[in-house]
Structure 1
Amino acid sequence: MDESLIPNIVDFIGQIDPFDQLPADVLKEVAACISITYLGRGEQIHFSEDSSEKYLYIVRTGSMEQRKPDGVLRSKLGPEDIFGFTFLAPLKKVLDGYTATAIENTLLYLIPHAKLLKLTQKYPQFNESVAAGAQLRLRSALNVVWSNKEKGLFLKKVSEVANGLVATVDIDMSVQDVAKEMRNACRSSTAVIKQQGKIVGLITDRDMTKRVIADGLDIHQPIKNVMTTPVLTIDPDDLILKAASLMMQYGIRSLPVVRGDEVLGLLTTSNLVQKHRMQAIFLIEKVKYTNTLEELPSLTSERQAIFEALVEGNVNADIIGQVMAMIMDAYNRRLIQMAEQEFGEPPCDYDWIVAGSHARHEIHMMSDQDSAIILSDTATEADKVYFSQLSKFVTDGMDKCGFDNCSGHYMASNAKWCQTLSVWKQFYQKWVSNPQYGMLMNVSVFLEVRSIHGNNQFSQQLQDHLHQLIAEESQFLPSLVNDAIRVQPPLGIFNKLVLEKSGNNTRVLNIKKYALTLIVDLARIYGLAVGCNQTGTQDRFKYAVTKGLLSEEDYKDTIEAFLFLTQVRYNHQLNALRQGLQPNNHIEPSAISSFERKHLKDAFRIISNLQEAAKLRFSE
């Protein structure tokens, strides 16, 4: 190569991920080994496993298109785009071949495979970025976007925060002896009660005051008469976030840290708030103790501030969704409690459930309300009038607090979605047995529900009923699949257009419709196919892996794509908030960096492959 060209090549590739990670002297060394190829319009590069010479290609000028062996368009490439990852054996075994064609006069930089191998051995981060597997490339992108230093308490394990001093007592001990054991445990104000080695109860100093001293009870009676049972526990390896969520959901202040039947310590709200100043916990506590409906909307700015801080702090996308869901839960529960105070005690048992992104713990700044009420079968028409008032109070309150009403009216305040358990079961029976008659919209909304207040046995019974119906109705899952693959991910971003497979290119990328929703729909299908009761997208795919329905490799590919796409949406929403604009899901191609564009193509390809696999697996 003419050495006079090297500075120009260095300047060009030095701005492209992942070469921008290399030291200047190494970058110059790479540039020196690059060969330059000119392709006229229509000229091709054929890739196959038998190719004797292998290169990584960088488009300097012009444009290319890739097609699969069957002629289907795989992607279009412009300046700064890189291709040839798949054929970098031995990094990955070649799975299929394709052809790259110049669609205009094109100049390519070719980096020899041998040179790349040396770089991947010396620079691990570079290795992931040029890996043949899209999963590794996406993980590399996430590592760049997210900084481990900023994750803080959210990703700490319970064992790192909990107090190791806790009293463990026997169920037959007297109240007075248990109090002495609690005093001897120094900082601990809680005792874990066991019977034959099994945890059966819990007692706190507050319980002692309220249940024993205040009522003048005999302090020599067995502790089992006044203990709290059953007991919620947390594993030492669980995230603090999970523990905080349990505390807020059940209104408890102490969680025994347990592995098997061994009590290792105690986690309290004081551990979280006083020592770590976790902002989200503070907001949840504020919401919990708000006394009037007028006070709640004033906290909305804090909710937005937390979202912005989480995104700016490079916290993992799945953690952001869970934290925002915890906050939404807190608002929802507090409004239900206020409504019960306003209209009196509920006349019958009920279960307030949430659906959609709220049920999946995947909340963002645009998430609206999806909710419903399951009533006891004893409910009368007069009872329904009560719940009509209660639900309107709650949904209107949520709307005032920045959680928009559902545009499709899938809310508890809609009388259609406030029904007895028996009627709900009839709904599911009709939806599952007649998916071809326009029932899929209804069922897709309520295929993931989560109880946040009331008798959660109702939603569990409904979920069990759903799984039984699906097992009996062979046409249901294929119908869901046909609906899920009707929309396909775009081929990629090319110049200022989003390339849709339909051929109708658009000016914006709807990242919800053409990417995230497609993954959520597929997770729902895989989860239902294996009877998974969990609602989260990642949890459903993981459960499908444990049941042998999805490979570990496909699971990792899909989750890396899901997390990357979620992070792109969060960043887009953050930019809108900074500019004082209303967040949306529509991203202008001009706002997508070459870094993001490259990884979006990987994500779209993963979704497309998963759609094809689901179609084959669940076809009629």
Structure 2
Amino acid sequence: MFGQKKEGLQAHDPDMVVDFLQGVLPFKDLEHSTLVNLAKNANVDFYPKGTRVLTQDVSEVNYVYLIQKGGVKIYLQDQAGEISLKDYRGEGSVFGALAVIRGSRSSMTVEAVEDTFCFLFPKKSFLELLKTHPGFAQHYLKVFSRDYVQKSLDELRKERLTPKTEGSLYLFTVKVNDVIRRKPEIITPVQSVQQAAQRMSDLGIGSLLIRNEYGKVSGIITDKDIRSKVVAKGLPYSTEVEKVMSSPIKTISAQRVCFDALLDMMSNRIHHLAVQDEDRIIGVITSHDILVLQGESPVYLFKEIMHQNRIERLYELSLKVPLVVRPLIEEGAKANNITRMITILNDLILTRLLTLLQEQLGPPPVPFCWLLMGSEGRKEQTFRTDQDNALVYQDPENEEQKQKAEKYFETFGEEAINHLVKCGYPLCQGGNMASNPKWRQPLSVWKQYFSRWVNRPEPQEVLNSTIFFDFRPAYGDMVLGQELKDELQSLVKGKDMFLRYLAQDCFRTKPPLSFFKNFIVDRDGEHKNRLDLKARGLVPFWDFARVMALKHGIMETNTLERLEMLDREGHMPHNLFVRARESYEFQMQLRFVNQLKLMEAGEQPHNYIDPAELSDLEKQTLKGAFSVISNLQSFLKETFKLNMG
């Protein structure tokens, strides 16, 4: 839709224009008399939402536009018709100045994204200001470098550029294939450990691949295997390598980036990965290769955590997690990659802590599994996420074993939680922790909990239990945790009433936008003029992904992975998935950046943001992200046939 310019329509009150200009750079630095003259020549115009104010390469620009209220988006369109969004601008922002300065047509398209009022300053008046006020001119000449901007625009029109890989961080740009130093060295399964050690020594390498009689790589032997499995256990050096090799071998595609290799190594507690190109093993990549590639590599912290033999030493190491993650944020890593790294490091700390605690207390009377819930269960931790955990153990066989189990796990749960607090993980305000007897129970009791929640749902109890539907096994006898997940999947299947309760719960949180699309913030209290990004923006995405995943038997807990599976299996419209993914990732990124700034300022990280501190582009993007909440809720209403009145 094209706006009908009301040429020559004078602003009824020049004083109103002056008052507005006095709050906008660089106008506010001009003398009052200059502002009065400018205001007298100004026009005012209104552009309804969707109006195209200027059209790329078509519109003659005779005015400089200053947005009084509303907002516009500015974009380019290449020869293939592809649109590239360049900016959003809101109240107090200017557009059209570059074209006026250059005396050219508009180089971009400008479209109102909401009902918008603009002050229009004639080209002649604006150019006169540039001539007579050097400071005013310097502001715009600094912002618009003619040669640079024109060159960038021309190149963009000729060819839509591939989006830049995340920052210059090597972990995200270098492919595994590019780090391989040499072809893989191969030995046979029947060769001796001594022969393998001699071969590694001669070649100056730390591993050998083992190829079986069928010509397939069946395992790997490393210098660590020889130390821990042969020398430490007193085995003869004539032992065949197939008896001590690691098998099956862990592989990674040659086309994946080094960050993926790093995560695989840390997740599997290994230091070598075989690199696979289609069906061939073409080399081996080690943690040392990544250390050389990236000096800030989390591998350093990974090794420190795994080598600790005192729980108290983990307190200090846990504080290093933000220091390791910080470079990822600074270099533009996506929020999902950041949470993956934090999850792995936190899981490593937990695993080492619980292992050392078991060594102190002795073996448990029955097998158990430590469960993680909430953001930990979803693998979406940020900095210093509250604890949300529980403990399930195998049902005791008799009364004596029952009493021993209760006593052991009471001590184990309480001490584990206290150690985690000292590691910097705050207590859960709702008491959802393994130190709470209610959440430290045999498998049969846990099955009863889920059965009651699913089969006899009460609104308030369902609300309080949602955190448990994001659980994942984290430590101990993982079979116990998986059995509980299987039980949950079986229970939920076909339970429409329970799912409707969960779906209705998704409507508790409304998008924090007013009727006029302004942010709704806290009006008083500690966080006055701020909004809770977690509670108001992210929770609706968690709730949507959870109920839809349970409905369709998807047992993944991570929000983005749930959404991707829902999209892949056709359970939600693809365009809704794309918008939800982008909106969720933007909010998580904003959350990380905000928390990092707080930590660097010596403050405790929290989830409140001040919209006034955001750029126009960030404000508009965040508004768009919040608007997706309504789309998700509308889809739930239709899917579950909810009558919300």
1:432 to 448, 454, 464: 454
| 1:591 to partner: Cα distance | 1.9
2:118 to 100, 107, 110: 107
Question: Higher RCO, 1 or 2 (CA under 8 Å, sep at least 6)?
Answer: 1
Listed as ranges, the matches of 1:469-618 within 5 Å are 469-491=491-513, 498=520, 507-618=529-640
**Does residue 38 of structure 1 match 2:56?**
no
Aligned to 2:344: 326
| 1:565 to partner: Cα distance | 1.0
Report the RMSD for the aligned CA atoms in angstroms.
4.3
CA contact 1:428–1:466 (8 Å) conserved in 2: yes
The CA deviation string for residues 465-508 of structure 1, in whole angstroms up to 9 with x for no partner, is 222222131223222221112212122698985279xxxx9832
1:208 to 226, 237, 240: 226
**Does residue 422 of structure 1 match 2:444?**
yes
With the length of structure 1 as denominator, give the TM-score of the two structures: 0.74
| 1:154 to partner: Cα distance | 4.5
**Does residue 351 of structure 1 match 2:369?**
yes
CA contact 1:496–1:589 (8 Å) conserved in 2: no
Letter in 2 for 1:243: A
Letter in 1 for 2:118: L
| 1:249 to partner: Cα distance | 3.7
- 2: CA distance, partners of 1:201 / 1:455: 26
Aligned to 1:298: 316
Task: Sort the Cα spacing of 1:63 and 1:163 in 2 relative to 1 into closer, same or farther, 3 A.
Answer: closer
The CA deviation string for residues 282-317 of structure 1, in whole angstroms up to 9 with x for no partner, is 123222223333333333543333344333333322
Letter in 1 for 2:372: V
| 1:542 to partner: Cα distance | 0.9
Listed as ranges, the matches of 1:224-239 within 5 Å are 224-239=242-257
**Does residue 408 of structure 1 match 2:419?**
no
Aligned to 2:261: 243
Aligned to 1:269: 287
Equivalent residue of 1:234, what SS? strand
Question: Where do 5+ consecutive residues of structure 2 fail to align?
Answer: 1-6, 9-16, 26-41, 73-88, 96-107, 122-149
Equivalent residue of 1:256, what SS? strand
With the length of structure 2 as denominator, give the TM-score of the two structures: 0.72
The CA deviation string for residues 142-189 of structure 1, in whole angstroms up to 9 with x for no partner, is x7xxx8333331454333334543344555666566667766876252
- 1: CA distance, partners of 2:383 / 2:493: 36
- 2: CA distance, partners of 1:59 / 1:510: 31
The CA deviation string for residues 7-37 of structure 1, in whole angstroms up to 9 with x for no partner, is x9xxx9xx99xxxxxxxxxxxxxxxxxx965
Structure whose CA Rg is larger: 2
Task: Sort the Cα spacing of 1:509 and 1:161 in 2 relative to 1 into closer, same or farther, 3 A.
Answer: same
Task: Sort the Cα spacing of 1:567 and 1:206 in 2 relative to 1 into closer, same or farther, 3 A.
Answer: closer
- 2: CA distance, partners of 1:276 / 1:293: 29
- 1: CA distance, partners of 2:549 / 2:233: 50
**Does residue 61 of structure 1 match 2:68?**
yes
Task: Sort the Cα spacing of 1:437 and 1:579 in 2 relative to 1 into closer, same or farther, 3 A.
Answer: same
CA contact 1:497–1:506 (8 Å) conserved in 2: no
- 2: CA distance, partners of 1:121 / 1:614: 42
| 1:415 to partner: Cα distance | 1.9
CA contact 1:492–1:601 (8 Å) conserved in 2: no
Question: Where do 5+ consecutive residues of structure 1 fail to align?
Answer: 3-7, 17-34, 66-75, 83-90, 111-117, 129-135
- 2: CA distance, partners of 1:281 / 1:509: 36
Task: Sort the Cα spacing of 1:308 and 1:254 in 2 relative to 1 into closer, same or farther, 3 A.
Answer: closer
Task: Work out the number of aligned pairs and report it.
Answer: 536
Equivalent residue of 1:368, what SS? coil
Task: Sort the Cα spacing of 1:295 and 1:209 in 2 relative to 1 into closer, same or farther, 3 A.
Answer: closer
| 1:372 to partner: Cα distance | 1.6
Letter in 1 for 2:220: L
- 2: CA distance, partners of 1:587 / 1:81: 25
Listed as ranges, the matches of 1:310-459 within 5 Å are 310-378=328-396, 380-459=402-481
| 1:611 to partner: Cα distance | 2.0
Letter in 2 for 1:463: K
Task: Sort the Cα spacing of 1:426 and 1:156 in 2 relative to 1 into closer, same or farther, 3 A.
Answer: farther
Task: Sort the Cα spacing of 1:181 and 1:305 in 2 relative to 1 into closer, same or farther, 3 A.
Answer: closer
CA contact 1:198–1:261 (8 Å) conserved in 2: no
